[in-house]
Amino acid sequence: MNKSKTVKLAVPSAAPGGLAADRSGHFGRCECFTVVDCAEGRAQNVTVVTNLPHSEGGCLAPVNLLQNHGVNAIAVSGIGMRPLMGFQSAGIEVLLGTGTKVQDTVDAYLKSELNPISEEDTCGGH
């Protein structure tokens, strides 16, 4: 993590979102995204963005939603190839998240413990 640059990190979350929320295992079907501004080695602003309904061909809807909210990194449990390519095309870094709570993932991000997800890590069926 570049500590001098602000990164807007999105974490798929269960409602109501926030740092104490459970992480969602399926980003496309999560209830919301907790978006955390990470700068100077710490979490700053925390906002919650309600996810759009997941529908046929809707794998790219979260990409556009998060891009419109200025997100430039997302930490997921898993992701399909199509949305991974969508995030990469939008300039949003996709990281393999960790922990059961949003706070766990944010803490790991701030410690530079999250790795970029690779094409080999993608899920089928997306």
- Whether residue 1 is predicted with pLDDT greater than 70 in this model: the reply is no
Strand-pairing partners, residue 75, are: 95
Inform me whether the pLDDT recorded for 71 exceeds 90: yes
Q: Is the pLDDT of residue 56 over 50?
A: no
Round to whole Å and give the CA distance between 106 and 78: 17
pTM: predicted TM-score of the whole model, two decimal places: 0.91
Q: Which domains does the chain have, with CATH numbers?
A: 7-118 (3.30.420.130)
Cβ proximity of 86 and 66 under 8 Å: no
Written as one string, the DSSP assignment of the chain is --TTS-EEEEEEE-TT-STTSBBPS-GGG-SEEEEEEEETTEEEEEEEEEPPPP-TTGGGHHHHHHHHTT--EEEES--BHHHHHHHHHTT-EEEE--SSBHHHHHHHHHTT---B--GGGPBS--
Cβ atoms of residues 19 and 101 within 8 Å: yes
Q: How do residues 4-26 score in pLDDT, each as one tens digit?
A: 689 999 999 999 999 999 999 87
Report the distance separating Cα 46 and Cα 41, nearest Å: 15
